[in-house]
Amino acid sequence: MYFKIMDDKNENIAEAAAKKFRFSFLQVTGIVVLVIIVAALLTAWWVKHYIYASKFTPTVLMAKERKVLDSKLVKLEESA
């Protein structure tokens, strides 16, 4: 027979599960403070780089660099 008849109904009941891990108040407070600090640092970095970004200054090429750039631009225009 495929099914076994259980004579003792309590035989296959699992024992009480292990005590579940719960965070203490101090741990929750620490996590919240850490999240607030990280969020504040990320916000300060974002504001510094995107709101108060430094003024854009164009690059000034030296004569040799300018010749190389001009030759590359000529090659690009010829291939188009």
Residue 14 lies in a domain: no
Question: What's the total number of domains in the chain?
Answer: 1
Tell how far CA 20 is from the center of its chain.
Answer: 29
- Distance in angstroms (rounded) separating the CA atoms of residues 60 and 51: 25
Q: What is the pLDDT of residue 56?
A: 86
Helix (H, G, I), strand (E, B), or coil: what is residue 57? coil
- Reading the block at residue 70, the tokens are 């001009």
Query: Residue 42 belongs to what domain range?
Result: 25-79
- pLDDT of res. 55: 87
Measured distance CA(61)–CA(78) in Å, rounded = 23
Q: CA 21, CA 14: separation in Å to the nearest integer?
A: 19
Is 58 part of a structural domain of the chain? Answer: yes
Q: Could you tell me if residue 7 is inside a domain?
A: no
The mean pLDDT value for 37-61 works out to 93
* Radius of gyration (C-alpha) of the chain in whole angstroms: 35
Over the stretch 6-34, which tens digit does the pLDDT of each residue have?
555 555 555 666 677 888 999 999 999 99
pLDDT in tens, 51-76: 998 888 999 999 999 999 999 999 99
The amino acid that residue 20 corresponds to is: K
pLDDT confidence of residue 66: 96
